[in-house]
Amino acid sequence: MKHQFFSLYSNCIPVSGLSQAIIYDLQFHRYKIIPKLLHTVLNIKGKTVYETKKEFHNRYDLGIDQYYTKLADEGFGFFTNEPEYFPEIELSFAFPGIISNAIIDIDIESNFDFSRIFNELQICGCDTVQLRFYFSVKLMDLNLILTHLVDSSIKSVEILVPFSSEFTKNNINEFVDLNKRIRKIIFHKWDVNQNQYHIDDVILFFLPNEIDYINDCGYIEKSEFVTNFRFFTEALHFNTCLHKKVSINTKGEIMNCPSLNIKFGNIDSASILNVVKSKKFQQLWHINKDKVHICKHCEYRYMCSDCRAFRSSESIYSKPSKCTYNPHKRNNSINFQ
C-alpha cells in the first residue's frame, strides 16, 4: 500500500474551515467532517502514501493509514497505482437560462396576466416557479393560473398557501393529477384538527403558524444543507440565494428578492427579460460565500444558502444575521435554527 497513491473520488471535494474541514460527496448527497490536518494530507497531489507520510516527517503515519483506510471503506476514496487515469472533476457552473427560478407573491388585490408572466419567464429560461399566496385561494383559481403553463417549458411549480377546508386529500390528489408540474405544496395556518396526508411525488408540508413571507426567510438551517453538484458549483462562483432568481411582489414590482425591497420596475411597463439582463439587477449575484465576512472561513459555506436581506451589519458582505454558527469559535456547537 505504501507505494500506491490514495485518491478521493472526483465527486468528493475536501473543503477547509477555520477549525475543521468537510468532504462534500456530490454524488451521494452526503458530507463527512474531518480534521484540518487530514484536509492538508488530502490536498497533497502526485505523491504515494509513502511520500505523503515523509512530507510530515513520518509523525502521523498511523493516523494517515487509519484515515485512508476509513475513507476507502466508506466510499470516499480508493488506492491506485495509476492516479493519472482519475482526473479531478470540472467545477465550473453552467445553467442555460438567464433565470433559473422565480417567486411570485399574490394577494387578493393582485391582478396579474399570468399568461404573459409565464411566457416572459420561459423566454428567460426559468424552470421553477414558486407561487406564494397571502389569502386562501380556491383550487379552481389555482387551476386557472396553472392552465397558462400547459405549453410552457417551465418544469416545476411550488405553492405556498394558507390552509383551508377545501384542501382535502381527494381534492389535492385531483389537483396534482391535473397539474403534473407541481413538486411542492406548503400549507400554513394549518388546522391542527385536520389530518395530514401524503401524495406520491409531491412534497407536502403542514405548518400550524402563518408564514410571514417577507420576514420568515434568511434562516440558515442544517436540515436545509444541500450537497449536490449543481448547488456546490453554483456556490463556488455565485450567491446561492440570488443568482439567477427573480421575484415579483404583490404589486407587480420586479425584484431580486421580496425581502430586499429593491425594485427594478413593474411588470405592467417593464420586460422581465430586460430587467434581469441588466448589470444593476445582477450585481448581487456575484457575492459568493468566499466574499462574505465570517462565511468565507466556514467549512459549510458551499452547502448552505445565503441571505443578503438579513445581514449582521449594513455591509453587503456581512454574515447572514440568522445564522448562529461562527467558525472562528473553535469547538463551538453548531446550533442552527
Per cent of the chain over pLDDT 90 is: 92
Section 53-68 average pLDDT: 96
- The Cα diameter of the chain in Å comes to 72
pLDDT at 334: 41
67-76, 120-129, 212-221, 270-279: range with lowest mean pLDDT: 212-221
pTM of the model: 0.92
Confidence check: pLDDT of 257 > 60:
yes
Q: What is the pLDDT of residue 59?
A: 96
User: Under a CB-based contact definition with an 8 Å cutoff, are residues 209 and 189 in contact?
Assistant: yes
Evaluate if residue 1 carries a pLDDT over 80: no
Q: Work out the average pLDDT over 47-55.
A: 96
pLDDT digits (tens, 9 = 90+) for 18-33: 999 999 999 999 999 9
Please say if the pLDDT value at position 332 is more than 60. no
Amino acid letter for position 222: K
Distance from the Cα of residue 30 to its chain's centroid: 14
For the stretch 126-168, pLDDT in tens is 999 999 999 999 999 999 999 999 999 999 999 999 999 999 9
Distance CA 255, CA 262 (A): 6
CB atoms within 10 A of CB 111: 7
Average pLDDT of the residues in 36-51: 96
